[in-house]
Structures are given as structure tokens and as C-alpha cells.
Amino acid sequence: MTANDDRATTMHTVAAHTDRELLPTIVAALLDRNDQRRAERAQAWRRHTAQNRARDAAYQRLNAASQHAAQRQRSRIRSLDQGYGLEL
């Protein structure tokens, strides 16, 4: 037993890799239900990550726009005549 490096195999794993037509009806229905749940979770995760990416992109756009506005304001202030003449 100590020389066996194979990964443990459960009846669930064997059933999942067996053709559904060869399994009892109740086991095939259970596997179908689990596949459906797994697909729904994957779809929910894709929606969640898409929402996060959209929120991050919107934040980046707003941040870039505010930085651009601040830069324009600073350049406007620098270009204003400060009232200092040559008489200094």
C-alpha cells in the first residue's frame, strides 16, 4: 500500500466518468442535476466577474477624466497673469 501513488478514486468519480446510459436511473439523474448546478454556478461567476471588470473600467475612465480636468486647471492657473510686471 505504501508504494501505491495512485490518487484515491471514489464511487462518485467512477460514476461521473461512466456513460449515463449504463448507470441506474437515479444515479444518472443525480449526475445530471449536479452538472446543471455546476453550469449555473459557472454562469453566475462569469456574470460576477464581468460586472467587476465593467466597474473597474468605469472607475478607470472616471479617474482618467478627473486627472485630465485637474491637469487642465493647473495649466490654466499657470498661464494666468499673476500681476507681476517688469518693475520687480
Q: What is the pLDDT of residue 88?
A: 53
Q: What is the DSSP string of 16-42?
A: HTS-GGGS-HHHHHHHHHHHHHHHHHH
pTM over 0.85: no
Q: What is the pLDDT of residue 33?
A: 94
pLDDT tens-place values along the chain, 88 residues long? 566 677 778 887 888 788 888 889 998 999 999 999 999 999 999 999 999 999 999 999 988 888 888 777 777 666 655 666 665 5
Q: What angle do CA 42, 28, 34 make, to 5 degrees?
A: 20
CA distance 70 to 73: 5
Cell of 4: 501505491
Q: What is the pLDDT of residue 65?
A: 85
Q: What is the pLDDT of residue 73?
A: 74
Q: What is the pLDDT of residue 85?
A: 60
